[in-house]
Amino acid sequence: MSIFGSIMKGIFPKAEATTLDNVDLQDDVAVAEVLQETVKDVDVAAILTALEAKSGQKLNWKTSIVDLMKLLGLDSSLSARKALAQELNYEGDMSDSATMNIWLHKQIMTMIAKNGGVLPADLQ
């Protein structure tokens, strides 16, 4: 499964469990289309805040791609983030990890919102 697909699965688990069984999870466009058709108005902040409380860690998922990935139980290493950047067609310098991380977080939040995720105003 792609890293992007894993992020979406972590945030939209009910949609994944019921509708992604017949979708190629390596095809992020197909995953996004299924989620868009089946997931409406999901309170992303509530889901992620509950996951954070359950984890017992203080993670800054609202601004950090590293913490968001950790919260979802994903590999947040630099190599994993570079792979995610490639999946999302990042055109910047991958050796500038700070800029890449900011871009990744913004892209993920935008894609979550486009796929039925409701985000607080400060994340839009």
Question: By mean pLDDT, which of 10-24, 30-44, 78-92 is the weakest?
Answer: 10-24
Helix (H, G, I), strand (E, B) or coil at 119: coil
Helices (runs of H) and strands (runs of E) counted in the chain: 7, 2
Please check whether residue 124 lies inside any domain of the structure: no
State residue 122's pLDDT score.
82
Question: By mean pLDDT, which of 10-24, 30-44, 46-60, 69-83 is the weakest?
Answer: 10-24
**Number of separate domains in the chain:** 1
The residue segments making up the domain with residue 17 are 3-119
Please check whether residue 102 lies inside any domain of the structure: yes
